[in-house]
Every structure is written in structure tokens, then in C-alpha cells.
Structure 1
Amino acid sequence: MNDQQWHELQERLTQAHAALLSQLADDLDRTTDLRLPLPHVAEASPADNASQRALHSAVHEAATLTARRLDLVRHALARFDDASYGLCESCGEPTGYSRLAACPEARCCIQCQTRLERGRR
């Protein structure tokens, strides 16, 4: 990977980090809003309560997924600091620019990732 590619990937990850932080803040704001009682309703119906719980669950799940992705991006950015970014965490070989261009937070080369995914089945 050349210097331009290195810096391009670092910039993409930095932008993703900022976007994910913003998304997580929005998700947490929505979660807080959902805990407030419904306006202008003396007593919510069971259907309203069920809808509210489903919506709360969906927002919570979205926030959880955003937080996980944020952890991956932070990990990738930290690897720039110790110059290990772009090396597979499993075999130590270069991950390859095409893999990182598709998924800048990738921790493993395509061969090791495929092996990991097959092992999960």
C-alpha cells in the first residue's frame, strides 16, 4: 500500500469515526425521547405500549450496532498509530488495499476472514 492509499484510508476512518459518534448521539437522544410519556394521552392503549416497546427496542439495537462499528473504527485508527494498520491480525500478512478500500476497518485479510466465517457455521 502506498502513502496516498494509507492516508486515504486513514481519512475515511476518521470521517467514519465522526459520523458514527454523531449517529450514536442521535440514537441515544431517541432512546431518551422514547422513555418520555406519550403526549396528550391520559392512558396509553396496549397497542400503543407495544408499539412504543418495539420502537424502543429497534432504536436500542441500532445504537448497539453503531457502538460496535465505532469500536471497530477506533481499533483501526489505533493501528495507524503503531503502524500495524493493513496487516492481518490473524496471519500478519498484508491485508491488501482492495480489501481495506471495501472495508477500512477490516482486521483480517480475506483468506483469514473467510476461514473465521466458515468456522462460525
Structure 2
Amino acid sequence: MNGLDQGQLALLKSILQQRLDALTGAVQPQAAGEHDLPVSEVETSPADKATVRLLNDLALGAAGHNAALMQVLRRTLEKFDDQTYGLCEECGNDIGFSRLQARPEARLCITCQTRAEKR
């Protein structure tokens, strides 16, 4: 079990759930066709068409990023159920409360994260 008390666990779980809820409200379904794109392409100048395509690409990229972040948050929330939340996935040591406050979805302790970033 991790070195967190029940109050700390409750706080971190609520932060994660709030982030997930905020993303769930912000994510729109993936575009199935041109009619579902955030900005519709109308008959305009070629420069305007390029701008519209760029805006659509950015919106679709943001939606993909949000979907990936939602998946990370869901996996992190599942760790509360199997009581592995707050444990480093690499070495098994506790992840400090201050690190989890800054990044509640952290999977690695500071030592392992530093080692991973140097690779």
C-alpha cells in the first residue's frame, strides 16, 4: 500500500475525477465526415480554405489529445480500486504526496521519472 492517508487519497481522487469530468464535457465525437468538422469549408478563396483546413486539423488534434488524456485519467482512477495508486510502476516505492498534488496522474516516483527522462 502507498504512504498516503485517507484524506490525501480522497483529495487526489476528487482532483482526478474533476479533470476527467471537465474533459468529458469538452470532448466532441470524432468527425465522421466533412459535415461534422468544427469549421465548415465554404466556397471562398484558396487562402481561406487553407485556414479552414488548419483550424479543423487543430480541432481534431486537440480532440485526440483530450481523448488520450481521458484514457490516462481513467486508468489512474482504476488504481484506487486495486490499491496501487501512489505506487511507482517501475520500482514499487511510494510516490510522494507533493508530487501527486502537482501531477495526480504520475505513474513514476521522482527517481524513476528522472531516470526515464535521461534515457
TM-score strictly above 0.5: yes
Give the TM-score normalised by the residue count of structure 2. 0.86
Sequence identity percentage:
40
2:26 aligned residue (23, 38, 42): 23
For the aligned residue pairs, the C-alpha RMSD in angstroms reads 1.9
For residues 10-61 of structure 1, give each alpha carbon's deviation from its aligned partner in whole angstroms, at most 9, with x where no partner exists.
1111111111111213x758x92436343xxxx2210011001110111111
Q: Which residue of 1 aligns with 2:53?
A: 53
Q: Which runs of 4+ in 1 moved over 2 A?
A: 31-38
CA contact (8 A) 1:17 1:73 kept: yes
Which structure features the higher share of helix residues?
Answer: 1
Alignment partners' CA distance in 2, 1:115 and 1:23: 34
Deviation at 1:102, TM superposition (A): 0.2
Q: How many residues align?
A: 113
For residues 45-91 of structure 1, give each alpha carbon's deviation from its aligned partner in whole angstroms, at most 9, with x where no partner exists.
10011001110111111111111211111111000010000000111
In structure 1, runs of 5+ residues without a counterpart are none
Give the TM-score normalised by the residue count of structure 1. 0.85
Higher RCO (C-alpha 8 Å, min separation 6): 2
CA contact (8 A) 2:16 2:105 kept: yes
Pairing of 1:57-96 with structure 2 (within 5 A):
57-96=57-96
In structure 2, runs of 5+ residues without a counterpart are none
Alignment partners' CA distance in 1, 2:49 and 2:57: 12
